[in-house]
Structure 1
Amino acid sequence: MAQQPFPALCRLALALLAGCASFAASAAEEKPLWEAGMGVATVSFPAYRGSDQRQAFVLPTPYFVYRGEFLKADKDGVRAQLFDADRVKVTVSGALSPPAYSRDIKVREGMPDLRANFEVGPQVNLTLWESDNRRQELKLLLPLRAAFTLERSPRSIGWVFHPKFNVDFGGIPGLTGWNAGMQLGPLLGDGKQHQYFYGVDSANATVNRPAYQAKGGFAGMQYVLGVSKRYDKTWVGAFLRYDSLRGATFADSPLVRTRNYVAGGVAVSWILGESAERVLVND
């Protein structure tokens, strides 16, 4: 298992917590402007999409929610809200991925490491349907993000587009207080993005790892199921993600060792402080 730098793990945990928390919807109510706390999470996933080697971590996770008019850090992640209408929202959002060290990945032995990377760009959220109490809803999320390595001198590694349907159930029958949701949709990326993860240049080619030039386009499908519950001062959540690389433009890369895999994680956070100021939210 690759040894990950502690700061990168914290950033990864925040992204996972935001992903789990996104499956918790409720009717409009007054809540603190901000909440802060600490928690712990355990996650397991491949070294990169298509890898047959896994990474698993148990790590501390900061918990922070901010419900401002413009800047928000809540169930939908950390973002700046640029436009808000009844059924259309435009935000700036981001994503994070941990590094993967080639010395720990047999098929990448001798190749450059995959750096931790981040994505940032606009996202359009379209509400297609919602119940009267807003506890059940169907949204179409359209994030378009530029990707960069996370290092002292970041460099561009292309762009990604991940349109997906988001279904919030707002409650699990028979389990009071538990919320559930699901996301599903295709992933697409340009040639630069795919070459970074799946390309093999002539200098790194071997008998068992021939040179390969990755193309842009379809990058497979992703399905996520999440559950969460907020107690008075405690939040718990879990997610399960299934990825399929069947039909991906880079599926025949020698670095793709499996075309189907499952990732998952669980987390618990304790809310240690909150603001006296309250705001009306639909969260």
Structure 2
Amino acid sequence: MPRSLHMRPVLLTLSLAAALPAIAQTQNTPVPPEAPATGRALWEIGGVAIGASQQAYPGSGQQVRRGIALPYLLYRGQYLRADNDGVGVRPVKTPLYEFDVSAAAAFGSSASNDPVRRGMPNLGTLVEFGPRVKVNLGAAPGDGRWRLDLPVRGVFDLSHQLTYRGAVFQPGLYWSRRARGAWSFGAGASLVFADRKLASTFYEVAPAYVTATRPAYEARSGLLASRLSATIAKDITRDWTVFSFARIDSVAGAANRASPLVRATTGHTIGIGVSWTWLRSEARAVD
């Protein structure tokens, strides 16, 4: 689905995820004495502001422009995690792979502002979360690291009491690098697969919404989009970080390319933001 936010941009969802129930016993699991410290604070509290121009959904001809400011909480426990890389419980971590919970989000859009969807239901603000396996593939060019991500996430509509909208599977290959001067870089390529329920949210035209220019269409499960993404972040001071992100989605070869609601083969998302850390712990996190 159109939406994963990596590195600092993922903070958009952390304040939402903080309200989700945590498994209490993982928070109190003792850390082995030999676990190495990372130098990062065990917890941080602060705020983040993000502005983005986002394709309404893969294949849409409309851009959605939104801004948001939220408080955030980061917690980097060995098993309970809420940080730039994921949200939730991380019960398994080895040098080769780890298992955790990932999250993503997207702004909603109004059907009245899109000639193709006029008269149809609005698309609400969607949030995703679910289990993920991350596989460390080792060193990459440019002093970076390769990683394979295999997340499966449920999709919920924040605008409609967290109504379940379907599920996605998004296998992807990612490159990341932490450079001198407090710069961070990332890039990735992934495929987004959706079940029929989620596909119908974006692409189905029920008989009640048929018009002279919008024929009926029954959505199918399968490939939703192919995606390229990139991020860059810079620590300005110990407490302030600026970041930007960009993404290109393509519906070439997608399961619902023939939907009358698809008007563009490719689309883009771009955004900028800033985060500020108000408080942080003296205790250090472990990797």
Question: TM-score range, shorter-chain basis?
Answer: 0.7 to 0.9
How many residues in Structure 1 have an aligned counterpart in Structure 2?
258
Q: Displacement, 1:153?
A: 4.5
Shift of 1:69: 2.1
Distance apart, 1:16 and its partner CA: 6.7
CA distance in 2, matches of 1:195, 1:178: 40
Corresponding residue to 2:113 among 82, 99, 104: 104
Name the counterpart of 2:219: 214
Structure 1 stretches of 4+ with a deviation exceeding 3 A read: 12-16, 151-155
Secondary structure in structure 2 of the residue aligned to 1:43: strand
Partner of 1:52: 61
* 2:155 paired with 1:147: yes
Structure 1 gaps of 5+ residues are 1-11, 21-26
CA contact (8 A) 1:82 1:92 kept: no
Distance 1:269 1:151, change over 3 A: closer
The equivalent residue for 2:27 is none
Distance 1:271 1:129, change over 3 A: same
199-208 or 116-125, larger mean C-alpha shift = 116-125
Stretches of structure 2 lacking an aligned partner (at least 5 in a row): 13-35
Shift of 1:28: 6.2
Shift of 1:127: 0.5
Are 1:178 and 2:183 counterparts? yes
Distance 2:275 2:155 in 1: 29
Residue among 136, 148, 169 paired with 2:177: 169
Moved more, 56-65 or 185-194: 56-65
Which letter maps to 1:94?
A: A
Instruction: Tell me, yes or no, if structure 1 residue 156 matches structure 2 residue 156.
Output: no
C-alpha separation in 2, matches of 1:60 and 1:150: 16
| 1:74-97 superposed Cα distances (whole Å, 9 cap, x missing partner) | 121323212111211111222222
Deviation (angstroms), 1:201? 0.7
- CA displacement at 1:15 relative to structure 2: 8.9
Specify the SS of the correspondent of 1:108: coil
Q: Deviations over 1:122-178 (max 9, x none)?
A: 1000001137xxx6210100001122322555433221100000101222xxx7321
What is the rounded CA distance, in whole Å, between the counterparts of 1:33 and 1:77 in structure 2? 15
Distance in 2, Cα, partners of 1:261 & 1:154: 27
Residue 248 (structure 2) pairs with residue 259 (structure 1)? no
Measured against aligned partners, the alpha-carbon deviations of 1:51-104 in whole angstroms (never above 9, x if no partner) come to: 111121233233432111222121213232121112111112222222222122
1:246 corresponds to 2:258: no
* Coordinate RMSD, CA, aligned: 2.4
Find the aligned partners of 2:7 and 2:110 in 1 and give their Cα distance.
21
CA contact (8 A) 2:166 2:194 kept: yes
CA contact (8 A) 2:50 2:67 kept: yes
Q: Hey, what's the Cα distance between the residues in 2 that align with 1:89 and 1:30?
A: 20
- Of 147-156 and 219-228, more deviation after overlay is shown by 147-156
State the distance in 1 between where 2:234 and 2:10 align: 13
* Secondary structure of residue in 2 paired with 1:106: coil
Seen in structure 2, the aligned counterparts of structure 1 residues 254 and 15 have a Cα distance that, compared at 3 Å, is farther
Offset of residue 13 of structure 1:
8.8
Asked if 2 retains the 8 angstrom alpha-carbon contact of 1:14 and 1:61, the reply is: no
Shift, 1:269, TM fit: 1.5
Shift of 1:222: 0.5
Q: 1:108 to 1:226 in 2, by over 3 A?
A: same
Q: Matches of 1:109 and 1:32 in 2, distance apart?
A: 48
Distance across 2 between alignment mates of 1:239 and 1:270: 18
| TM-score scaled by length of structure 2 | 0.82
Residue 169 to residue 28, structure 1, CA distance change in 2 (3 Å)? farther
1:114-153 counterparts in 2 under 5 A?
114-130=123-139, 136-151=144-159, 153=161
